[in-house]
Amino acid sequence: MGAAPVSLFQPMKVYGDLMKARMQWTVGALVLLLIPTAVMSQSGPSLPVYFVIQSGATPSQAITLAASLNVPTNAVMVTNGEVDFRDPTNFMKVPTMPVTNASIISVLLAQTPNRFPGIPIKFEQLDFGALSNVTVMSSNAAVTALGAALANAGLSSPLAAPVVSHTLLMATYTNDTGQVLSFSNFLDTKVSYQFSLGGYPVIGPGAQVQADFGPDGSASRLLYAARQLAPGPMVNLISAAEASNRVVAPLSPGFNGQVSVQLVYYAPPLSLTTVTSLIPWYLCDVSTAVTNPVTGAVSMVNLFPQLIPATDDTNFVPTVNLLANPGNGGTQVVASASVTGGVPPYTYVWSGSGTNVFSNTGPQLNYTPVVQVAAPQLSVFPSTPGRLSLSWADPTGLFQLQSASNLQAGAWSPVVGSQTTSNGVTTTALNLNAPLATFFRLVLSNTFIPVTENVELEIIDANGVLVRKTQSVPAFAVVSPISVVVNPILFAGWGTESPYDEDIGDADTASWLAVMRGNPLFGTERFYRGTYVATTADFLEPPYGNDEQIVDSVDLVFYVGHGNANAISFTTPQSGPGQPGVGLYDSETTDAWGHKNLAWLCLLSCDVLDNGQYFNFPSFRWGPSFDGLHLMLGFSTEAASGHTTFEPTFVGAMAAPIGPVLTIQQAWFLAAKTANVGAPAVLGPIGPGGVCDANDHWWGMGSVGPRIRAGQIQGWYYLTESN
């Protein structure tokens, strides 16, 4: 077993003589030392723990690093040693020019809500001429520039390899004369350093050194978030098979997929200032099959990659005991936890359906389970002569059809007749020659419904080591209707779709809600849909869904869940909270998004905007879903969950409580790179006159482009990261 964790200065004391006599080299980002022979001789597979000597850059190192790249030092933010610079004008700059056609502007303006009339709707188009002439900085020049700056600041490292990528913009547009304009070009050059320890990759937000260079060679973004490290005691490793079993256990029974594992070191964000050591982890990639309910086609969905501590050494890994039970006749869930081992203090992240769960930070939890529902839209139409057909989407089965001949209180009564349900859509038929009911409505049939609550607790110790425990509890949930704003045109709003909030997605959901709730810049929280409650119907038009009451009732939706290039996924009671039970496929969502309110759909989901060799261009898959949606934001690769720097960075960059205001797509890319969660991507329509919404800001924080309806789309632009 390894030695107990030590403070920042104790490694120098314990290994001081060794370091004086046998040190190979000392570097700014990582300090590499020879490991004591006594430690190396332990039996069984083992790897060292690495102690933190310095976290981030010192103030003088930060100033030198910025000055070496000609970055204005007064524009650099240094927090807990993390060096951060963003140039909102030149970061991922997309050349545009004004749209001047008055008739086009008039049509688009008439159909576009403006939540912040103080800033007019902005009409601009891609400048295809300027885009074609963009010549980015060479890879060698960019690597040399950042490498020299790091060396000047004493922050270079032989244990880090530079990796070059670019922001890639692809666009195609058919103009008003029928001419097809196509474009594909890089916008900038990015250098990111990949760290390794003993040949094993170091991942996570605390091992990021990055710089973006514009075509003129100037730095448009800079991030230094790394630690100086020294090897400490060895720890015995669990096997790769055991790590795989621990990942699969919450998904069983019924798990039908694949797991691959890789040994890595994970570096928590520098904002976690208590980190004194890094331990080895297994990075587990998980995939499973889902079935298209319409076509029956089976496809693989990548689940969020999961990190499992590669050791059970209690000096470095906490042990958690969780006890959860129903209370108050089953209408409440009561849970408590005890934690030992690892390095206190501990952070408690609870998940469950109660409204107070994510704000609870202690070892005890008591909440009332909630199922949040929106009233389905009722479709009424003649079917056959003498018959009237009514249908509505209600996958939960919570609503009852009633009729009345007038609107007086007490006049309503249940509709008696045969009903059929298929794919969540209920249909009933009435005889018109019977006493005709003039009015129909859908009402909740129950106040409480039986549920299986999946209570989950994530414990994060002072070193950022995360351990997850889960327990299922039978309970009765309160049915809570989603309130629909009478005049949503006047009020901004947002909503959350988190079908895995009682499993791997809970940390991201908690992080998202923490930065959004109570923030007046983002308006009203209209809905929060979690495990078993978030469904495909939330995204579908009537009669198969209720998206106008849910997803399309707000300006911005944040979805946390598993996906692939053609689908995002949802849980069902049969699948359990941890794996996909049903998929929402691109072929189901035609003209569904944006005609009422939805402007920005943000998907923390694997591969949803993939443009790889096995998938056609994202606009062919998801383009038919656009009917006013400004931007679809997602990932062209796997997306990692649980790195909770992503949400505050994304929201903070849009709202800019600290630092410059960024556009929504700039904020998305910035958050993905800062948190190291995957390659971000954005898809957006091009409308008449070439108008596009590439430079949209959140309401009140900058300009916003117009709503482009489905029949007005004349092209697409696609933005991602490419090597």
pLDDT greater than 60 at residue 340: yes
pLDDT band at residue 449 under the 50/70/90 scheme:
confident
pLDDT tens sequence across 213-244: 999 999 999 999 999 999 999 999 999 999 99
Residue 227: inside a domain, yes or no?
A: no
pLDDT tens sequence across 250-295: 876 677 788 999 999 999 999 999 999 999 999 999 988 877 766 7
Mean pLDDT of the chain: 87
Residue 415: inside a domain, yes or no?
A: yes
Cβ neighbours of residue 56 under 8 Å, at least 6 residues apart? Answer: 80, 81, 82, 83, 224, 225, 226, 227, 270
Residue 386: inside a domain, yes or no?
A: yes
How many domains are contained in the chain? 1
Task: Quote the pLDDT of residue 164.
Answer: 97
Residue 428: inside a domain, yes or no?
A: yes
Task: Quote the pLDDT of residue 35.
Answer: 33
Structure letter (DSSP) for residue 463: T
Contacts 24+ apart (CB under 8 A), 659-662: 659/77, 659/84, 659/86, 660/86, 660/87, 660/88, 661/88, 661/697, 661/701, 661/702, 662/86, 662/88, 662/91, 662/697
Per-residue pLDDT, averaged over 499-515, amounts to 89
pLDDT tens sequence across 607-663: 999 986 445 689 999 999 999 999 999 999 999 886 679 999 999 999 977 779 999
Residue 470: inside a domain, yes or no?
A: no
Least confident of 269-278, 296-305, 403-412, 703-712: 403-412
Is 609:583 a contact under the CB 8 Å cutoff? no
Task: Quote the pLDDT of residue 432.
Answer: 63
Is 348:359 a contact under the CB 8 Å cutoff? no
Residue 408: inside a domain, yes or no?
A: yes
Residue 396 lies in domain: 379-444
Q: Which two tokens stand for residue 521?
A: 């810049």
Q: With a threshold of 0.85, does the pTM exceed it?
A: yes
Task: Quote the pLDDT of residue 433.
Answer: 55
Residue 105: inside a domain, yes or no?
A: no
Output phi, psi for 68, to 5 deg.
Answer: -65, -25
pLDDT tens sequence across 140-185: 999 999 999 999 999 998 889 999 999 999 999 998 888 998 889 9
Residue 68: inside a domain, yes or no?
A: no
Task: Quote the pLDDT of residue 33.
Answer: 33
Per-residue pLDDT, averaged over 6-30, amounts to 27
Per-residue pLDDT, averaged over 399-427, amounts to 80
pLDDT greater than 50 at residue 30: no
- Cα 659 vs. chain centroid, distance in angstroms? 22
